[in-house]
Structure 1
């Protein structure tokens, strides 16, 4: 009797695994980093924002893409007092995030975590945002060295120019 039950359990688990593998939403994570988008590989910098002198606050982005991974530095400037001066340092501060990205058609989706400048994970009790960083951008490739990122969460475009080109050398995960 016990052999029959364990055979049925084994058959059921094999059937469930087969069904799962046939579904598109069920797949194993790769053991190697994927190559990402070749045109994005490298470091991109935003130098200014349109009408930035008239804005109460704005941010400048520095984006680094390596294979399917990203690292972003967001330097924010604000004329408004938004919190403790130890955090805002007289109206400017920098936040960092790292994670992975993927592009479908003209939309770039980045998802990661806020971190420190040295890529270590950020203490959630510190200044500003912590935890998940997620954003989608409509991407317009202007030239080989100029890309416009249009965030879905803002009306201010990020016009970034290439500082340093790199190539993807996938690493094991």
Structure 2
């Protein structure tokens, strides 16, 4: 049985077409992100924090589609090495990108050091991937509530510095 060269060319063209429609290039510029989030947000306290054994306070910074968060944790119970827990107070940092669909904010990135350099996995506390989902409620122009899907205590953050997005090349 003899094969027709037309069938081979047709399959080749169909394969190339399917690959070109299924692939897309990553953008070479940052996307603008959510305009209402642009800037720095601070959580000052949580209700009844003096009675809690352990709690965390958040400082979030949004710039275009990127975020940087510092999580200051406080604990009355020492469950780790004191060189890490620093007498019951320590801070972790994360950086990455975010997107929002409806009322759900998705943060995805990496744990890092305070200078935004990648954190060594042999150090204190968490390292590697960071991923968190928050239900966002805008309470006022300068007050937003981030309700985590993994924590029962919401983050009530106030705007301390408003910025605008100026997309940068990637």
Same fold (TM over 0.5): yes
Please give the TM-score of this superposition, normalised by the length of structure 2.
0.92
Q: Does structure 1 residue 68 correspond to structure 2 residue 70?
A: no
| Alignment match of 1:17 (pick from 16, 19, 25) | 19
For the residue of structure 1 that corresponds to 2:55, the secondary structure is strand
Distance 1:153 1:86 in 2: 27
Q: Does structure 1 residue 155 correspond to structure 2 residue 152?
A: yes
Please give the TM-score of this superposition, normalised by the length of structure 1.
0.90
Aligned to 1:27: 24
Pairwise mapping of residues 22-171 of structure 1 onto structure 2 (< 5 A)?
Answer: 26-171=23-168
* 1:10 CA drift (Å): 4.3
Q: Which ranges of 4 or more aligned residues in structure 1 deviate by more than 4 Å? A: 3-10
Aligned to 1:23: none
* 1:30 CA drift (Å): 1.0
Distance 1:66 1:18 in 2: 32
Distance 1:115 1:140 in 2: 27
- Give RMSD over aligned pairs: 1.8
Distance 1:36 1:16 in 2: 31
Q: Which runs of 5+ in 2 are unaligned?
A: none
For the residue of structure 1 that corresponds to 2:24, the secondary structure is coil
* Count of aligned residue pairs for this structure pair: 167
* 1:6 CA drift (Å): 8.3
For the residue of structure 2 that corresponds to 1:82, the secondary structure is coil
Q: Which runs of 5+ in 1 are unaligned?
A: 21-25
Distance 1:14 1:142 in 2: 50
